[in-house]
């Protein structure tokens, strides 16, 4: 178990690190809030032990930032402050436990064990929860998928990343990227693009590939190439040879969307295209450029997660 200890008192910090190290834990140490927060966001710790009276950035501010950026990271507060108001503030900001100084090491060890139990709970919960599957509308041999891509998901405590959403057969927008379509069929796709232009790295990516007729329709106009400087990213299904550049919203466009799901009254472009499915299988689709360019096999970028800019196409 990898623990980050943020404590400015040298004697206490050394005591905790030595004791936890003897119990088999790996402990990193930082002595001020700003450095500690930066380290917590740069690495994948299992637990943070956090003092409140820290230089550079106080512990409650660190905790607030961690809850915003790493909501599932357990944080154990270690502080000489015993007043109820501080305790309530810490728990309201997401602390998993609160231990007053001075303390017995066995008491601290028990709290760390509780943090370990939380990690196990999160892992088991993640493995047991299946992501939502959104089915295409219509029936074989021609179905329709409706998606939107947004610049900011904007729904705490989730990451505030760019993201896809899919509209289910009832017309409800789902924050999910597992899509079900029939085999040996034509899939008509509508993508409402609310993200701004990022620019693609090569004119090659401005050319639609794998679509019916080798074209896309952008705001009612049929194109066989899109100026790559106007694009936000490419929608790609590598196994089907599909790559579609999506025109972004202008940076100076009025009424831009900031919280998903976005509405058609907000600034967007509409992209339509079709592709054909083959035999049944589980295919990967993704934002390829610029999300994952430069990563092995095109995967591994920071937003290349199921439910965000990456998903599965369940061909059945």
For residue 296, what pLDDT is reported?
44
Residues 191 and 42 in one domain: no
Residues 164 and 309 in one domain: yes
For residue 122, what pLDDT is reported?
61
User: Residue 124's domain is classified under what CATH number?
Assistant: 3.40.50.2300
Residues 17 and 107 in one domain: yes
Residues 152 and 190 in one domain: yes
User: Residue 311's domain is classified under what CATH number?
Assistant: 2.60.40.420
Among 128, 153, 182, identify where a domain stops: 128
For residue 295, what pLDDT is reported?
47
Q: Looking at the 3D structure of the chain, how many domains does it have?
A: 2
Residues 124 and 166 in one domain: no
- Each residue's pLDDT tens digit in the chain (316 positions)? 899 999 999 999 999 999 999 988 899 999 999 999 999 998 888 899 999 999 999 999 999 998 888 877 889 999 889 888 888 888 888 888 888 888 888 888 888 877 677 666 666 655 555 678 999 999 999 999 999 999 888 777 666 678 899 999 999 999 989 999 999 999 999 999 999 888 776 788 899 999 999 999 999 999 999 998 888 888 999 899 999 999 999 888 999 998 899 999 999 999 999 999 999 999 989 887 766 554 444 444 556 677 888 889 999 9
The β-bridge relationship of strands 133-135 and 178-181 is parallel
Residues 211 and 91 in one domain: no
Among 128, 160, 182, identify where a domain stops: 128
Residue numbers of the domain that contains 9: 2-128
**Separation CA 197–CA 27 (nearest Å):** 43
For residue 106, what pLDDT is reported?
87
Residues 303 and 223 in one domain: yes
Residues 147 and 269 in one domain: yes
The β-bridge relationship of strands 221-223 and 216-218 is antiparallel
Residues 81 and 20 in one domain: yes
Residues 65 and 149 in one domain: no
Residues 119 and 140 in one domain: no
**Separation CA 45–CA 117 (nearest Å):** 15
Residues 95 and 182 in one domain: no
For residue 36, what pLDDT is reported?
93
Among 83, 104, 128, identify where a domain stops: 128
């Amino acid at each position: 178990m990898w623990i980050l200890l943020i404590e400015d008192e040298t004697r206490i910090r050394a005591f905790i690190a030595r004791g936890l190290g003897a119990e088999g834990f790996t402990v990193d140490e930082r002595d001020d809030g700003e450095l500690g927060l930066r380290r917590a966001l740069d690495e994948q710790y299992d637990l943070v032990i956090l003092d409140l009276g820290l230089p550079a950035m106080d512990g409650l501010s660190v905790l607030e930032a961690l809850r915003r950026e790493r909501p599932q990271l357990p944080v154990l507060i270690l502080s000489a402050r015993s007043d109820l108001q501080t305790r309530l503030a810490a728990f309201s900001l997401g602390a998993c436990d609160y231990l007053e100084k001075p303390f017995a090491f066995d008491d601290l060890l028990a709290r760390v064990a509780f943090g370990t139990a939380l990690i196990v709970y999160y892992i088991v919960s993640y493995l047991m929860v299946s992501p939502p599957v959104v089915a295409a509308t219509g029936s074989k041999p021609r179905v329709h998928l409706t998606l939107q891509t947004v610049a900011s998901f904007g729904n705490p405590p989730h990451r505030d990343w760019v993201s896809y959403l899919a509209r289910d057969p009832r017309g409800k927008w789902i924050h999910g990227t597992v899509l079900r379509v029939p085999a040996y069929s034509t899939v008509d796709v509508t993508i409402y693009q609310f993200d701004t232009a990022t620019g693609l790295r090569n004119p090659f990516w401005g050319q639609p590939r794998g679509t019916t007729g080798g074209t896309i329709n952008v705001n009612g106009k049929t194109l066989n190439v899109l100026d790559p400087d106007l694009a936000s990213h490419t929608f790609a299904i590598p196994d089907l040879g599909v790559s579609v550049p999506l025109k972004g919203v202008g940076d100076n466009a009025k009424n831009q969307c900031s919280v998903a799901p976005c509405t058609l009254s907000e600034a967007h472009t509409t992209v339509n295209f079709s592709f054909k499915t083959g035999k049944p299988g589980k295919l990967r689709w993704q934002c390829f450029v610029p999300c994952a360019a430069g990563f092995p096999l095109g995967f591994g970028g920071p937003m290349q997660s199921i439910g965000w800019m990456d998903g599965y196409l369940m061909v059945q």
